[in-house]
Amino acid sequence: MIEIDPSEHIPRDAVVTAVDYADGHHFALHTHQRGQFAYAACGVITVFTRQGNWVVPPQRAIWVPAQVPHEMVMSGPVTMLNTYISNEAAARLGLPGLCQVFDVSAFLRQLLIQAADVPALYAQEQRDGHLMSLLLHEIASMAPLSLNAPLPDDPRLAQACQRLLQQPSLEVSIDDMARQVGRSRRTFTRLFRQQTGISFVEWRQQACLLAAVVRLGNGESITRVAVDLGYGSPSAFTSVFRKVLGAAPSRYFSKEAL
């Protein structure tokens, strides 16, 4: 496993970098000595860990705590602004100990743009230091978004879930999954909730939404995505999308890229 952290030994609470990536760029399994707040200025980022999968739409971000092994895949050209946060600052701000996708306010977007030009060894008591302090407090105030599919610990359950993540569909039933893992329906549903914290039906919906976010972020039509994922109609898909993510797909992806 590789370590990728250009700010590991810099004696500051946060360092911000901005990097462009091509469609399909893949970071193999790696860790950071600091927490990583990765903001997708444009494009979609998918993050994989042993605990589950997360999808980051344009204009949103993911928090990856220090020492969490993860992979990243870019969908579409991606501009990523990374804030590498020291463990002490992360604890002080109350940032979570697990990966989490977050909304990003217009104010935070502007702070990130400004912070990307701040030198790594900024003067802490001057303008740059105050900017970085404000940036950290704004990161800590962002609302979490439900854009992940947790993976169970049971190997057979996890393998079945990974297969569904690769080809998500609402047409895969509880009975289908129970047969795949050699469990009764009752045992499967009990074990699934016990190990993921949600029901299989909720998890299947999350898996479909993760796929939808990637495909819509790449410009595919709502109708095509809805049909492929097994929704009865585009309006049914839009209703579920709005309920879970707070806005219709067309509006959700309407923020201007930076």
Which candidate, 6, 14, 47, places its Cα nearest to that of 29?
47
Q: 40 and 57 share a domain?
A: yes
User: CA-to-CA distance for 73 and 25, rounded, in angstroms?
Assistant: 6
End position of a domain, from candidates 96, 111, 145: 145
Q: 61 and 157 share a domain?
A: no
Total domain count, the chain: 2
End position of a domain, from candidates 145, 162, 178: 145
Write out the two tokens for 121: 């060894």
What range defines the domain where residue 202 resides? 151-252
Write out the two tokens for 22: 């091509």
Q: 137 and 196 share a domain?
A: no
Look at residue 187 and tell me if it is in a domain: yes
Q: 182 and 123 share a domain?
A: no
pLDDT at 3: 60
Each residue's pLDDT expressed in tens, for the chain with a length of 258 residues = 666 666 778 899 999 999 999 999 999 999 999 999 999 999 999 999 999 999 999 999 999 999 999 999 999 999 999 999 999 999 999 999 999 999 999 999 999 999 999 999 999 999 999 999 999 999 999 999 989 999 999 999 999 999 999 999 999 999 999 999 999 999 999 999 999 999 999 999 999 999 999 999 888 999 999 999 999 999 999 999 998 888 899 888 875 444
Q: In 121-199, which residue ranges form alpha helices assigned H by DSSP? A: 127-140, 155-166, 174-180, 185-196
